[in-house]
């Protein structure tokens, strides 16, 4: 690790000297201190499956562009959510179990037949069965991250009942471009990225991305081999763009990445709040997540509009083992082998605007098909201790889901300032589940023969919205949107006997009004929204009781509700000074639910912090240093307390993180020093009795990016 850091320092210094020497006569791309800075209004998004300005979308959408991600030194979604109102990730430091929540709505720590918050890459669903190890990819060479709030049943289909996150990768350009990025910290974290873009001909370009990072970890393991608990990630993505003419574009990419990590991450609460997290449980090395991602998109312009075909394939595998009794002894081991193979195909047509007798109309229609096969092997071995007599139980769970859908929306502008949009999607899911277990020794009572079940679920998810532009800079909207998550089957144990029980599909309807505005020639933008989401038959895990040998599986709560608001702003009150902020309030709770473990009506939903906010100030100093402009930046991010599981009476506590950055920005390079968690806030991200998953302590580091 020290060799890596030393090489990084040397290479950063060499790159900086080389670029400075070449750039003495090059005008910096940063705004001068005496020049006005226009924030601009054009921020692209595909929230409605068409590429448009986010200001024209009648819904709450947050977009993090590549520049924002670089300025805040964000390289994974777990860090990005700190800038987003009403978004949270439970267990962010565990690559197996990142649980995304939007407006207090998440999968509630279950994997069923679809996710609750859909995670997409270039519009292709990544977490099709809800398994969470595909939820939070690394943010490498992205054009932007789109976060869509509330049900997205019309635009994105099944599995987006709480919202959607779409990672849009950078596409090849027809220019020579090389970018190298390095970072490291006093926690012995290191990261390196390399981007190479080159045109191969007048109509063919290639872009190659390579990256790797190491986190040595900060949770010590005195009773287990291997030192601190850490992770390693490596990956590459090769992309091609072919444009034989100005009407046809073909984009394709191959991405492969591997993540290795130690488990578990639990430390004692006392050691966490003392500032020296210690895990007293046995560490089991050799955990790994491996992914292959293929993508192909063909866009053909015709006189009537644009035809787009999107094809995706994902092959991902998780292999891991952890000591499951939360003690120093190796009394029990839980091995998991999860694999997901998913193919999807979508074709859609976006029309041009047509003049009609009153105003103009346009429409967007499409159809999709996907097939996802997931296989799970859980190998639970007991060697004694608190779990009783030695034994072993091997359980399988195979899931196949075929999804068909047709969708469309019609947008009518009877007069220039007014847009009325009406859309919908019909979805059908054919779900087949095979589940069973084989117990021996002390776990023989948990045996159950393999059982296969098949069911078909379908839903129509409409959407209606009204957008009115009061001026060129101020618009308001009202939206009613719906979402759907198919049902399935799960194993439930009663007095040691396992049975296969069906659970129903989940539905949601979202009512939302909002404001989008820009003032002072684009130097102040303010967006706001209020919402109310009603859930019916929300899918909920049933806790397992080891004393009565009962529980497990998935239940349907009768009703749940989420209500709240979002507010964000971006301003440049002075030349060189940019201020930003986002505030979120959510009240998400069960309305009517008599759970198998007791009544839960009125209790908060898990992973649903009531208050989230972020504030930032970025100031570029008046004096240029040769080709570079000095800057300082500060950030404050807050998350209020929340519970992490259904029926829990333990909360994780609130926390506020303060980050500082300072450095130089230029056309060809950026170099900055940073300190994250300035005041060394000691906090947990999940609680399990007297154990918890600790948040990252104060960290100092340096990051440099160099462009040739």
DSSP label of 48:
T
Which residue's structure tokens are 């300082």? 632
| Phi, psi dihedral angles at 16 (to 5 degrees) | -65, -45
pLDDT of 522 over the 90 cut: no
Partners of 172 in beta bridges: none
Q: Indicate the pLDDT class of residue 388, thresholds 50, 70 and 90.
A: low
Task: Give the model's pLDDT for residue 38.
Answer: 34
CA separation for the pair 601, 558 (Å, rounded): 10
Query: 180 CB contacts (<8 Å, ≥6 apart)?
Result: 11, 15, 192, 193, 194, 195, 705, 706
Which long-range contacts (C-beta less than 8 Å, at least 24 apart) are formed by 387-392?
Answer: 387/325, 387/331, 387/332, 387/442, 387/546, 388/442, 389/441, 389/442, 390/441, 390/442, 391/439, 391/440, 391/441, 391/442, 391/443, 391/444, 392/439, 392/440, 392/441, 392/443
DSSP label of 357:
S
- In this prediction, what percent of the chain has a pLDDT beyond 70? 88
Q: Indicate the pLDDT class of residue 549, thresholds 50, 70 and 90.
A: low
Kindly state the average pLDDT of the residues 415-442: 91
Q: Are 706 and 278 in contact (CB under 8 A)?
A: no
Which residue's structure tokens are 């300072």? 662
Task: Give the model's pLDDT for residue 283.
Answer: 67
Query: 305 CB contacts (<8 Å, ≥6 apart)?
Result: 349, 350, 351, 352
Mean pLDDT taken over the chain: 86
Which residue's structure tokens are 């595998």? 317
Q: Indicate the pLDDT class of residue 22, thresholds 50, 70 and 90.
A: very low
Q: What angle do CA 50, 145, 399 make, to 5 degrees?
A: 85
CA separation for the pair 539, 545 (Å, rounded): 19
pLDDT tens digits, residue range 307-316?
Answer: 999 999 999 9
Q: Indicate the pLDDT class of residue 224, thresholds 50, 70 and 90.
A: low
pLDDT of 704 over the 70 cut: yes
Task: Give the model's pLDDT for residue 405.
Answer: 96
435-460 exposure pattern, b = at least 16 Cβ within 10 A, e = fewer = bbbbbeebbeebbbeeeeeebebebe
| Pairwise pLDDT comparison (324 vs 518), residue with the higher score | 518
Picking from 593, 488, 600, 490, the residue whose alpha carbon sits closest to that of residue 544 is 490
Which residue's structure tokens are 């565990």? 94
Q: Indicate the pLDDT class of residue 592, thresholds 50, 70 and 90.
A: confident
pLDDT of 260 over the 90 cut: no
Helix (H, G, I), strand (E, B) or coil at 237: strand
Q: Are 563 and 610 in contact (CB under 8 A)?
A: no
Task: Give the model's pLDDT for residue 1.
Answer: 38
DSSP label of 653:
-
CA separation for the pair 301, 362 (Å, rounded): 15
pTM surpassing 0.75? yes
Kindly state the average pLDDT of the residues 559-580: 95
Q: For 238-332, where are the alpha helices, taking DSSP H only?
A: 269-273
| Pairwise pLDDT comparison (11 vs 84), residue with the higher score | 84
Q: Are 46 and 587 in contact (CB under 8 A)?
A: no
pLDDT tens digits, residue range 128-155?
Answer: 887 777 777 777 899 999 999 999 999 9
Kindly state the average pLDDT of the residues 595-603: 87
pLDDT of 95 over the 80 cut: no
Which pair of structure tokens corresponds to residue 112?
Answer: 């069923």
Q: Indicate the pLDDT class of residue 97, thresholds 50, 70 and 90.
A: low
For the ranges 184-188, 342-346, 378-382, which has the lowest average pLDDT? 378-382
pLDDT tens digits, residue range 609-665?
Answer: 999 999 999 999 987 677 889 999 999 999 999 988 888 888 888 999 999 999 999
User: In angstroms, what is the C-alpha Rg of the chain?
Assistant: 26
Which pair of structure tokens corresponds to residue 600?
Answer: 């839960």
pLDDT of 674 over the 50 cut: yes
Helix (H, G, I), strand (E, B) or coil at 646: coil
Q: Are 541 and 108 in contact (CB under 8 A)?
A: yes
Question: Residue 206, class by beta-carbon neighbours within 10 Å (0-12 exposed, 13-18 middle, 19+ buried)?
Answer: middle
Which pair of structure tokens corresponds to residue 478?
Answer: 């009202």
- Give the other-Cβ count within 10 Å of 599's Cβ: 11
Which residue's structure tokens are 């490596």? 234
Which pair of structure tokens corresponds to residue 441?
Answer: 């020794």
For the ranges 270-279, 529-538, 657-666, which has the lowest average pLDDT? 270-279
Q: Are 341 and 373 in contact (CB under 8 A)?
A: yes
Q: Indicate the pLDDT class of residue 109, thresholds 50, 70 and 90.
A: confident
Strands of 324-390 (E only): list them: 332-351, 354-355, 360-382
pLDDT of 197 over the 90 cut: yes
CA separation for the pair 193, 14 (Å, rounded): 16
Task: Give the model's pLDDT for residue 74.
Answer: 77
Q: Are 116 and 130 in contact (CB under 8 A)?
A: yes
Q: What is the distance between the terminal CA atoms of the chain, rounded to a whole angstrom?
A: 27
Which pair of structure tokens corresponds to residue 620?
Answer: 């570029």
Task: Give the model's pLDDT for residue 436.
Answer: 80
Picking from 46, 55, 31, 44, the residue whose alpha carbon sits closest to that of residue 518 is 55
pLDDT of 382 over the 90 cut: no
Task: Give the model's pLDDT for residue 91.
Answer: 67
Picking from 295, 325, 300, the residue whose alpha carbon sits closest to that of residue 126 is 295
Query: 440 CB contacts (<8 Å, ≥6 apart)?
Result: 391, 392, 393
Whether the link from the prior residue into 264 is cis, omega within 30° of 0, is: yes
Classify domain 2-707 at the CATH class level: mainly beta
Task: Give the model's pLDDT for residue 28.
Answer: 28
pLDDT tens digits, residue range 290-323?
Answer: 999 999 999 999 999 999 999 999 999 988 887 7
Picking from 215, 210, 145, 139, the residue whose alpha carbon sits closest to that of residue 180 is 210
Residue boundaries of the structural domains of the chain: 2-707
Helix (H, G, I), strand (E, B) or coil at 363: strand
Q: Indicate the pLDDT class of residue 542, thresholds 50, 70 and 90.
A: confident
Task: Give the model's pLDDT for residue 385.
Answer: 64
CA separation for the pair 22, 527 (Å, rounded): 42
CA separation for the pair 433, 457 (Å, rounded): 14
- Going by their DSSP bridges, the two strands 231-245 and 248-263 should be labelled as antiparallel
For the ranges 89-103, 446-460, 464-478, 624-638, which has the lowest average pLDDT? 89-103
| Phi, psi dihedral angles at 272 (to 5 degrees) | -65, -50
Picking from 284, 341, 377, 316, the residue whose alpha carbon sits closest to that of residue 135 is 316
- In this prediction, what percent of the chain has a pLDDT beyond 90? 56
CA separation for the pair 206, 236 (Å, rounded): 13
| Phi, psi dihedral angles at 451 (to 5 degrees) | -125, 135
pLDDT tens digits, residue range 60-74?
Answer: 999 988 888 888 877
| Pairwise pLDDT comparison (613 vs 81), residue with the higher score | 613
For the ranges 19-33, 223-237, 576-590, which has the lowest average pLDDT? 19-33
pLDDT of 432 over the 70 cut: yes
DSSP codes joined into one string, 107-161: -TT---SS-SEEEEETTEES-TT--GGGSS-B--SEEEEEEEES--TTTT-TT-S
CA separation for the pair 446, 330 (Å, rounded): 21
Q: Are 380 and 323 in contact (CB under 8 A)?
A: no
CA separation for the pair 233, 213 (Å, rounded): 5
DSSP label of 414:
S
Q: What angle do CA 163, 352, 348 make, to 5 degrees?
A: 45
Q: Alpha-carbon torsion 259, 260, 263, 268, what sign?
A: negative
Q: Are 255 and 293 in contact (CB under 8 A)?
A: yes
Which pair of structure tokens corresponds to residue 555?
Answer: 């239940």
């Amino acid at each position: 690790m020290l060799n890596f850091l030393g090489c990084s320092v040397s290479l950063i210094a060499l790159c900086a000297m080389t670029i400075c020497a070449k750039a003495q006569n090059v005008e910096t791309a940063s705004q001068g201190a005496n020049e006005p800075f226009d924030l601009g209004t054009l921020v692209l998004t595909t929230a409605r499956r068409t590429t448009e300005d986010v200001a024209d979308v009648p819904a709450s959408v947050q977009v993090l562009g590549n520049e924002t991600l670089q300025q805040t030194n964000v390289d994974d979604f777990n860090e990005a959510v700190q800038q987003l109102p009403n978004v949270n990730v439970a267990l962010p430091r565990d690559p197996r179990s990142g649980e995304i929540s939007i407006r207090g709505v998440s999968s509630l720590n279950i994997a069923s037949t679809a996710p609750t918050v859909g995670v997409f890459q270039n519009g292709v669903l990544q977490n099709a069965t809800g398994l969470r190890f595909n939820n939070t990819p690394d943010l490498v060479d992205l054009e932007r991250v789109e976060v869509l709030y509330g049900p997205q049943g019309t635009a994105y289909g099944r599995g987006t009942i709480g919202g959607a996150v779409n990672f849009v990768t950078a596409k090849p350009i027809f220019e020579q471009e090389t970018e190298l990025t390095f970072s490291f910290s006093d926690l012995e974290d290191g990261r390196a990225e390399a981007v190479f873009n080159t045109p191969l001909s007048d109509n063919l370009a290639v872009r190659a991305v390579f990256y790797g990072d190491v986190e040595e970890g900060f949770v010590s393991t005195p009773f287990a081999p291997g030192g601190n608990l850490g992770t390693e990630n490596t990956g590459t993505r090769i992309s091609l763009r072919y444009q034989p003419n100005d009407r046809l574009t073909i984009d394709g990419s191959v991405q492969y990445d591997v993540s290795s990590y130690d488990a578990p991450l639990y430390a004692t609460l006392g050691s966490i709040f003392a500032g020296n997290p210690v895990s007293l449980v046995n560490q089991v090395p050799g955990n790994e997540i491996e992914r292959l991602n293929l993508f192909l998109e063909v866009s053909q312009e015709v006189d009537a509009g644009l035809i787009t075909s999107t094809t995706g394939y994902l092959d991902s595998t998780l292999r891991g083992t952890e000591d499951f009794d939360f003690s120093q002894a190796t009394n029990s081991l839980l091995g998991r082998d999860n694999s997901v193979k998913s193919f999807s195909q979508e074709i859609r047509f976006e029309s041009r605007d047509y003049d009609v007798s009153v105003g103009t109309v346009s429409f967007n229609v499409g159809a999709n098909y996907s097939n996802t096969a997931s296989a799970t092997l859980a190998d639970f071995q007991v060697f004694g201790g608190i779990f009783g007599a030695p034994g072993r139980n091997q359980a399988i769970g195979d899931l196949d889901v075929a999804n068909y859908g047709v969708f469309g929306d019609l947008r009518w502008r009877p007069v220039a300032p007014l847009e009325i949009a009406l859309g919908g999607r019909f979805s059908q899911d054919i779900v087949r589940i095979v589940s069973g277990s084989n117990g021996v020794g002390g776990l023989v009572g948990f045996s159950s023969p393999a059982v296969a079940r098949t069911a078909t679920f379908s839903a129509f998810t409409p959407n209606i919205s009204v957008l009115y532009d009061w001026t060129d800079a101020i618009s308001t909207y009202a939206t009613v949107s719906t979402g759907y998550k198919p049902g399935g089957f799960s194993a439930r144990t009663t007095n040691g006997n396992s049975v296969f029980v069906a659970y129903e599909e989940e539905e949601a309807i979202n009512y939302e009004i909002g404001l989008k505005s820009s003032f002072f020639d684009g130097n102040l933008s303010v967006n706001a929204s209020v919402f109310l989401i009603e859930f019916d038959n929300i899918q909920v895990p049933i806790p397992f009781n080891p004393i009565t040998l009962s529980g497990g599986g998935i239940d349907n709560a009768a009703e749940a509700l989420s209500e709240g608001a979002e507010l964000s702003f971006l301003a440049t009150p002075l030349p060189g000074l940019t201020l930003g902020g986002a505030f979120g309030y959510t009240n998400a709770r069960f309305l009517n639910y008599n759970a198998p473990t007791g009544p839960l009506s009125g209790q908060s939903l898990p992973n649903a912090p009531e208050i989230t906010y972020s504030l930032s100030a970025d100031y570029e100093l008046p004096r240029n240093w040769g080709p570079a402009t000095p800057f300082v930046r500060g950030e404050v991010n807050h998350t209020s307390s929340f519970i992490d599981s259904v029926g829990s009476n333990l909360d994780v506590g609130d926390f506020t993180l303060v980050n500082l950055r300072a450095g130089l920005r230029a056309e060809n390079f950026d170099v900055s020093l940073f300190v994250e968690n300035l005041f060394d806030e000691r906090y947990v991200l999940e609680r399990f009795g007297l154990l918890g998953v600790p948040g990252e302590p104060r960290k100092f580091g340096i990051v440099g990016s160099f462009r040739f």
